[in-house]
Amino acid sequence: MSKLKLVLLAASAMLAMAFTVSCSGDDGSDGKDGVDGTPGTNGINGVSCSLKENTNGTATLTCGDKTFTIKNGENGDPGAPGAAGAPGADGEGCTLEDNGDGTAVLTCGGVSINITIANDVSSSSSGEEDISSSSSEEVSSSSSSDNSCTLWQNAKGTVKIVCGVDEVVIYCGGNTFNPATDVCRNDAVLTYTTLTDSRDGIKYKAIEIDGAVWMAENLNYVGTLGSEIGACYGDDDDNCDAYGRLYNWTEASAACPTGWHLPEKTEWEALATFVGNDAEKLKAKSAGGTDDVGFAALLGGFISASPQNIGAIGRFWNIDEDIYDNSDAYYLQISTSISQNTSVKTNKFSVRCVKD
Instruction: Write the CB contacts of 269 (distance below 8 Å, at least 6 apart in sequence).
Output: 340
Range with the lowest mean pLDDT among 118-122, 184-188, 192-196, 289-293? 118-122
Residue 137 burial (CB count, 10 A): 14
Question: Beta-carbon neighbour count of residue 330 at 10 Å?
Answer: 20
Q: Residue 230: left (phi > 0), alpha (psi -120 to 50), or beta?
A: left
Query: Quick check: 119 pLDDT over 50?
Result: no
Give the residue, 27 or 21, on which the prediction is more confident: 27
Q: Which has more pLDDT, 31 or 239?
A: 239
Residue 241 has pLDDT above 60, yes or no: yes
Question: Quick one: average pLDDT of 108-137?
Answer: 42
Angle at 281 between CA 275 and CA 286, to 5 degrees: 160
> Do the bridges between strand 307-308 and strand 302-303 make them parallel or antiparallel, or are there none, so unpaired?
antiparallel
pLDDT tens digit string along 255-305?
A: 999 999 999 999 999 999 999 999 999 999 889 998 889 999 999 999 999
- With cut-offs at 50, 70 and 90, classify the pLDDT of residue 132: very low
Q: Do the beta carbons of residue 328 and residue 322 sit within 8 Å?
A: yes
pLDDT of residue 167: 62
Rounded to an integer, the average pLDDT of 19-40 is 68
| b/e sequence 270-280, b meaning 16+ C-beta within 10 Å | ebbebbeeebb
Q: Which residues pair with 60 in a beta bridge?
A: 52, 69
**87 torsion bin: left (phi>0), alpha (psi -120 to 50), beta (else):** beta
82 pLDDT band, cuts 50/70/90, is confident
pLDDT per position as a tens digit, 202-238: 999 999 999 999 999 999 999 999 999 999 999 999 9
Q: What does the pLDDT read at residue 169?
A: 65
Alpha carbon separation from 96 to 100, 130, 156, 162 (Å, rounded)? 12, 15, 24, 9
pLDDT for 126? 34
pTM (2 d.p.): 0.56
**In contact, 261 and 351? CB cutoff 8 Å:** no
pLDDT surpassing 70 at residue 87: yes
Of 34-48, 126-140, 302-316, the range with the highest mean pLDDT is: 302-316
Task: Of 59-73, 122-136, 189-203, 314-328, give the lowest mean pLDDT range.
Answer: 122-136
- In residues, how long is the chain? 356
Say how far apart CA 304 and CA 139 lie, in whole Å.
39
Residue at 291: amino acid letter:
D
The average pLDDT across 30-39 equals 78
Percent of the chain topping pLDDT 90: 44
Listed residue (198, 216, 218, 332) closest to 277, CA to CA:
332
Contact present, 293 and 207 (Cβ < 8 Å): yes
